[in-house]
Copies of this chain bind each other. A is one copy, B any other.
């Protein structure tokens, strides 16, 4: 146990990616020099740490203490393992490969037919993963964790409790099926939840702990962070505001956005893109449809804001096509909520869900590598 804690404390001091001297590690960790030497030796053996050659003339932090004995430099080998972030979407499969520091080393994108059944879709996932690993020259055995995003309500074990967007998805043991393809942990999460995590990590919500991410789309959803942590809800269904439309007399996006009186196909994103483009170009019928849709979106977001009271609402999904959404949303939230949150467009674009999945995998790895539990107060783990 103490060995594990000492290793975690030492790895933490190394995780910045900069190479560091043994003496610095002794100072940073509060461990004794012999302890650090022992820990480093076993970390080098395990492949997690490498000794680095430095110029003899290089500046020495710590100053005069190194006199006579040349300093030894070490770095964390982020390339010792890798993680995957996967989005399984209605129209595409997206895979991001990164090292243990979260540095992206490969991505692959595969458009898929919305009509694929679950087996065909899982097969497309396997192909896409194989392709990204092959391109990067990384072995499957080198994966430490895999994060996966999917539409629908996903429980903690990774079973899809409800997933109407893709054929054969409801009831699928997605976690179990994917775990057959990997020897490492596979973590499944709802796509909007992952988008919230991703925007908090690298997008519009950096530094904000109370965030609602709204995934605008034909099946709208949302993900919330409360105090910086994902709020999944008791049954993993938090933020599934799509159903609010049911309360609004069938005012579904595909009806609201129709320019013909006949609803759009509920999966036909191309038809939606056409309406958005027409509206931008000044087509009146399309503009009316767009206004109808925005009115409904504002209502959904207002309901979320009243329930949760976030600091920031991030709008994504179709956000790219909804340039005009921010101003009306801001105005309506001022009117209809008691304390209007800030409003921003998503920053991460089409990779947002896969990035969130990557972050979840990275959290898992960091927990294993760096977690010291119970937390030490600096010198707590001194050997």
Contact = CB atoms under 8 A, between A and B. Distances in A.
Interface of A: 153, 161-162, 210, 222, 224, 226, 231-241, 243-244, 246-247, 299, 302-304, 306-311, 335-339, 341, 374-375, 377
Contact of A338 (B224, B243, B311, B335): B243
15 contacts: A162-B338, A162-B339, A210-B233, A222-B307, A234-B310, A236-B309, A237-B309, A237-B337, A238-B309, A239-B307, A240-B309, A244-B302, A247-B299, A247-B303, A303-B303
A66 to B, nearest CB: 36
A232 to B, nearest CB: 8
Contacts of A226: 226, 231
A303 B241 CA distance: 7
Contacts of A375: 374
Contacts of A222: 307
Contacts of A234: 210, 309-311, 339, 341
Nearest to A380: B374
Contact of A307 (B238, B247, B336, B339): B238
A336 to B, nearest CB: 5
Contacts of A232: 309
A219 to B, nearest CB: 11
Given A309-B238, A374-B374, A153 B303 contact: no
